[in-house]
Structure 1
Amino acid sequence: MNDFLAARSQMALSLGFHIVFSCIGMVMPFFMAVAHFLYIRTGNDIYKNITRAWSKGVAIFFATGAVSGTVLSFELGLLWPEFMKHAGPIFGMPFSLEGTAFFIEAIALGFFLYGWGRFNQWFHWITGVVVGISGLVSGILVVAANAWMNSPAGFDFVNGQYLNIDPIKAMFNDAWFSQALHMCIAAFAATGFAVAGIHALMILRRRNIAFHTTAFRIPALFACIAAVLQPLSGDISAKDVARRQPAKLAAMEAHFKTEAASPLVIGGIPDPVAKEVKYGVEIPGLLSFMVYSDFHTPVKGLDQIPENDQPPVAITHYAFQIMVGLGMIMLGIALCYFVALIRKKSWLRMPWLLRLFVIATPMGFIAVEAGWTVTEVGRQPWIINGVMRTADAVTPMPGIAYSFYIFTAVYISLSLIVTFLLYRQIRMVPEIYDIQTPSL
């Protein structure tokens, strides 16, 4: 493995690991705050127990996310010094503000964890809400920095120099809103289905039925609402990508040839040599309609993009198909759940509905990982789209491959530790709430 590939692999591993904790840190505090609010309003101790159980999970993921996020911040400078040399002064503001949001989140979480019986109950609840809001803001700010890499703004690039720097314009670049919206909704869907799936599994196993049934409802509702909204945000993102990064869109869709009534390809195996997709299902004109709201307008294909500026087609296309496919499955589960809530109350007592949520437990996070693969791999060969190539930003320091191996071992160890802590936390749910309930 050469140093360039090792640097990219280490960054991909770190991002892939950290994004799971980021999503949970953005969303789980809101589940916790809703349960806490219901406890204050109803006095039902099950809601209190749910709140305290979830708050311990939030603490676990906060600590792990803080470690993985700190590693990422160092890796930006160590692995990509040329990038940070020029980009740091331009897009450094969202990272600085993210640090402020992180400190607020840490303080609020400390108040919440140790505030039981010490604070006014509504002040205590507000500290939990602040944890959620600051975590969400933190995530949005990081996404804004990443969006700048896809849509660079806030500077003039003249003769290799970065001039007239405007950090505010850089932070609020053309891509930040669509990326932040898509990421936030994805975080709610992924975390919601994961948490709901775990509680659904416990219900099916007949463990602490009242506790898990009550806990199931909160993340399930959040997840299903997010799953319905996600295709809408995806449409906004796709139209934005078509306008700013046509090469990425062409790779996502394995769209090799520019033509009128551009077809949408579902599935298939891209063949970059033959410039075709084998075994895919083509729907004529649908890609043109999705991008331009017209069935005949040509969508720019890879044939109009220089080969050395084209992203890896196969990886981008497969990742995009995985993301969309899992999104559609989660949308189907969400629609079933809403039908059950509104029209078919009897479905709420059916084990098959719970099994659907159990099956969906990992789907949201797999879709998130696939989506970030599309975002990052689809931008290649650029680290700053159209301005700086990734190969020009990597560190000249040798031995990066060994660093990649070490970090891989560290992240695997952290994953095992977090899994053990969560398993132990789930097993510690008190048996006092093991009351049979007839429905969800």
Structure 2
Amino acid sequence: MDDFLAARLQMAFSLGFHIVFACIGMVMPFFMTVAHFYWLKTKKIVYRDITKAWSKGVAIFFATGAVSGTVLSFELGLLWPKFMEHAGPIFGMPFSLEGTAFFIEAIALGFYLYGWNKINPWFHWATGVVVGISGLASGILVVAANAWMNSPAGFDYIDGQYLNIDPVKAMFNEAWFSQSLHMCVAAFVSTGFAVAGVHALMILKGKNIQFHSKAFKIAAVFATVAACLQPISGDISAKDVAKRQPEKLAAMEAHFHTERNAPLIIGGIPDTAARKVDYAIKIPGLLSFMATGDFNGEVKGLDQVPKDEQPPVAVTHYAFQIMVGLGMAMVLLAILYFVALWKKKQWLNSNWLLKLFVVATPLGFIALEAGWTVTEVGRQPWIIRGVMRTADAVTPMPGIAYSFYLFTAVYISLSIIVSLLLYRQISMVGKLYDSTSDQSKSFL
């Protein structure tokens, strides 16, 4: 394995793990505070116990997210020193602000975890809200930094020099809003379906029905509402990509030829040599409409992009298809759940609906990883689009392959530890909560 490939794989692997920890850490505090709100309003102990159980999960993912995020910060300097040398002064502001949000989140989480029966109940609840808001702000700021790599702004690039630097303009680049919106909604979708799926499984096993039913409903509502909002954020993001990164859109759709009335391609196997897509379903004009708002609008194809600047088509296309396909599957499940809530309440007690949520448990995170692959692979061969190539930013230090193996082992170990901790928490709920009564034993 050459060092360039090892550096890219290490970054991809690290981001792939961190994005899961980060998204759960961003979203779970909101689930936690909703359960806490119900506890304060109703005084039903089941909501208190849900809150305490979820707060343990928040603490676990806060810690793992902090560790994996810190590793990523070191990796930027270790693997891409040329990139950090030039980009650091430009897009460093969102990272600095993210650090501030992280400290606020840590302080608020400390108040929340140790504030039970020690501080005013509503102030205690408010600290949980601050945990959620600051965590969400951290995610937005990090995505804003990544958006800058897709849409560089806030500097003039003249004769190889980065001049007239404006960090504020760099942070609020043209891509930050669409990427942040799409990412935040995706975090709620993926975490919501994962949490709802776990509780649905516990209900199917007949364990602690009352506890898991209440927890399932909170998570399922978040997941299904977010799933229905995701296509809207996706449309905003797709239109933005069509405007700023037409080569990425072309790779996403395996759109080889510039044309009007461009068809939307569903599925298919891209043949880059023959510049065509085999076995695809094509809907005439729909890609033009989605990209431009006009069924006869022109969509730029890869034929207008120099060959050495074209993204890898197959990986980008397959990842995009997976993201969209799984996203639509979750939208359909969301519609079924809304029908059950409003019209067919008997469905809520049916095993088939719960089984669908169990099947959907990993779908959000698979779609999340696929979407991140589209974002990163679709930008290649650039690390800063149009300014610096990824190959020019990699470290000249030899032996990166060994670093890749080491960091891979660390992340796999971290994932195993987190899984065991979460399994232990779920098991403790199963042993210590009495579902036949509205009273429970505090297990925290």
**Which TM-score band (shorter chain)?**
over 0.9
Whether the aligned pair in 2 keeps the contact of 1:209 and 1:436 (CA below 8 Å) is: no
Partner residue, 1:62: 62
- Amino acid in the other structure paired with 1:433: D
How many aligned positions are there?
437
Partner residue, 2:91: 91
Q: CA-atom RMSD, angstroms?
A: 0.9
Partner residue, 1:394: 394
Whether the aligned pair in 2 keeps the contact of 1:46 and 1:433 (CA below 8 Å) is: no
Partner residue, 2:36: 36
Counting only pairs closer than 5 Å after superposition, residues 27-176 of structure 1 correspond to structure 2 as 27-176=27-176
2:184 corresponds to 1:184: yes
Partner of 2:375: helix, strand, or coil? helix
2:12 corresponds to 1:12: yes
Partner of 1:104: helix, strand, or coil? helix
Q: Hey, which bits of structure 1, 4+ residues long, moved more than 2 A?
A: 430-433
Counting only pairs closer than 5 Å after superposition, residues 349-428 of structure 1 correspond to structure 2 as 349-428=349-428
CA deviations on 1:249-277 (whole Å, 9 max, x unpaired) are: 00000001112211111001111111011
- Amino acid in the other structure paired with 1:408: T
**TM-score normalised by length of structure 2:** 0.97
Whether the aligned pair in 2 keeps the contact of 1:256 and 1:276 (CA below 8 Å) is: yes
Distance 1:293 1:148 in 2: 25
CA deviations on 1:337-387 (whole Å, 9 max, x unpaired) are: 001111111111111111111010000011010000000000000000111
CA displacement at 1:434 relative to structure 2: 1.7
CA displacement at 1:435 relative to structure 2: 2.6
CA displacement at 1:436 relative to structure 2: 8.8
CA deviations on 1:195-229 (whole Å, 9 max, x unpaired) are: 00000000000000000001111010000000000
- Amino acid in the other structure paired with 1:197: G
**TM-score normalised by length of structure 1:** 0.98
Distance 2:260 2:209 in 1: 57
Distance 1:15 1:214 in 2: 33
Whether the aligned pair in 2 keeps the contact of 1:209 and 1:433 (CA below 8 Å) is: no
Partner residue, 1:294: 294
Whether the aligned pair in 2 keeps the contact of 1:94 and 1:141 (CA below 8 Å) is: yes
CA deviations on 1:213-248 (whole Å, 9 max, x unpaired) are: 011110100000000000000000000000000000
Distance 1:294 1:435 in 2: 59
CA shift in 2, pair 1:436/1:347, >3 Å: farther
Q: Which structure 2 segments of 5+ residues have no match?
A: 439-444
CA displacement at 1:404 relative to structure 2: 0.3
CA deviations on 1:148-179 (whole Å, 9 max, x unpaired) are: 00000000111111010000000000000000
CA shift in 2, pair 1:247/1:436, >3 Å: farther
Partner residue, 1:339: 339
- Amino acid in the other structure paired with 1:396: P
Is 140-149 or 290-299 further displaced after alignment? 290-299
Distance 1:259 1:237 in 2: 21
CA deviations on 1:86-118 (whole Å, 9 max, x unpaired) are: 000000000000000001111111111111111
Distance 1:433 1:162 in 2: 64
2:193 corresponds to 1:212: no
Distance 1:95 1:169 in 2: 14
CA displacement at 1:122 relative to structure 2: 0.6
Partner of 1:256: helix, strand, or coil? coil
Partner residue, 1:249: 249
Identity %: 76
2:262 corresponds to 1:281: no
- Amino acid in the other structure paired with 1:236: I
Whether the aligned pair in 2 keeps the contact of 1:316 and 1:377 (CA below 8 Å) is: yes
- Amino acid in the other structure paired with 1:16: G
Distance 1:166 1:283 in 2: 43
- Amino acid in the other structure paired with 2:349: R
Partner residue, 1:434: 435
- Amino acid in the other structure paired with 2:98: E
Q: Which structure 1 segments of 5+ residues have no match?
A: none
Distance 1:254 1:219 in 2: 36
Partner of 1:279: helix, strand, or coil? strand
Distance 1:399 1:223 in 2: 43
Partner residue, 2:22: 22
CA shift in 2, pair 1:52/1:436, >3 Å: closer
Distance 1:307 1:276 in 2: 16
Partner of 2:298: helix, strand, or coil? coil
Distance 1:50 1:161 in 2: 55
CA deviations on 1:182-207 (whole Å, 9 max, x unpaired) are: 00000000000000000000000000
Is 405-414 or 169-178 further displaced after alignment? 405-414
CA displacement at 1:289 relative to structure 2: 1.0
Distance 1:289 1:355 in 2: 37
Whether the aligned pair in 2 keeps the contact of 1:208 and 1:431 (CA below 8 Å) is: no
Distance 2:132 2:150 in 1: 27
Distance 1:433 1:220 in 2: 23
